[in-house]
Amino acid sequence: MSDAPTADAAGLAARRDEFLGKLGSGLLVMGIVNMTPDSFSDGGLFETAQAALEQARRHVGEGAAIVDVGAESTRPGHTPVPADVEQARLTPALRRLVEACGAPVSVDTSKASVARFAAREGAAFVNDVWGLQRDPDMAPAVAETGMGVVVMHNRDDIDPARDVVDDMRRFFDVSLDIAARAGIARERIILDPGIGFGKTRQQNFEALAGLPALAPYGLPILVGLSRKSLLRELAPDGSTARVEPRLIATIAANLAAAARGATIFRVHDAAEHVAAFRVFDAVARA
């Protein structure tokens, strides 16, 4: 496939800046659309282009400021897929999502070729769970396309002895140096502590509690912990709860993250989070 752009570069930049311009105005929701057969929460539900489009529209209608589309599961124990499979899953839907869902679109990928494809289809952001450190061509791809990027902390191994907050800072120092050398403008970068990735259960909570340590970077912080297994033990008994137990735990954890400086939240349930964040913002501004 040719690398010639098929999406208007000015339009991509406008969608990117539309989202970046909202930062600082309150807590923002990123709605998840998994076009995968094996994602931990909703695998197989949104594989078709029509189902993905309907879910994206639902998120936006409920108040999501951006939609994050993924075509490869990154859950623990997932089976990696090659770039051509990931791109084939996205091809029927991505441009339709960009044109019709009414919000900027991010693509959840760690592969530079998929990121370039996403930019050609009009996606405004790439969400890289390896923080520009897995595919050496990812940072140049982000710089060349003008996309914004979510840089997530991750590790191949889990070491209970690791100081996870210190490790996040060292990891982000490397990622930001890679970004700067590639020519990615700093104002297009968002940091993600990578809850559920390369961490013990305790380290996941330490990472959330340690979010203020990321404040000196002066960059927006995204948290993605929606429905994750570390919340299962904290969720109320499903036999008595009147709403889905892990939704309650997710909202509580996201509000705790917001109190520590997170401003963007990658979630499966947009409406409930928008409502909770409206109250949080009102209290914070008062």
Residue 23: CB atoms within 10 Å: 15
Q: State the DSSP H helix or E strand holding residue 204, giving kind and residue range, or none if neither.
A: helix 201-209
CA nearest 74: which of 28, 20, 134? 134
> Residue 126 belongs to what H/E stretch?
strand 125-128
CA 168/CA 214 separation, integer angstroms: 8
Give the DSSP letter string of 39-84: -TTTTTTT-SHHHHHHHHHHHHHTT-SEEEEESS--STT-----HH
C-alpha pair distances (Å), 37 with each of 41, 170, 226 = 10, 34, 18
Question: Annotated active-site positions, please?
Answer: 228, 266
Any idea which residue has 């939704």 for tokens?
A: 247
Residue 248 CA to residue 229 CA, distance in Å, equals: 13
Of the chain, the end-to-end C-alpha distance in Å amounts to 53
The CA R_g of the chain, rounded to the nearest whole Å, is: 18
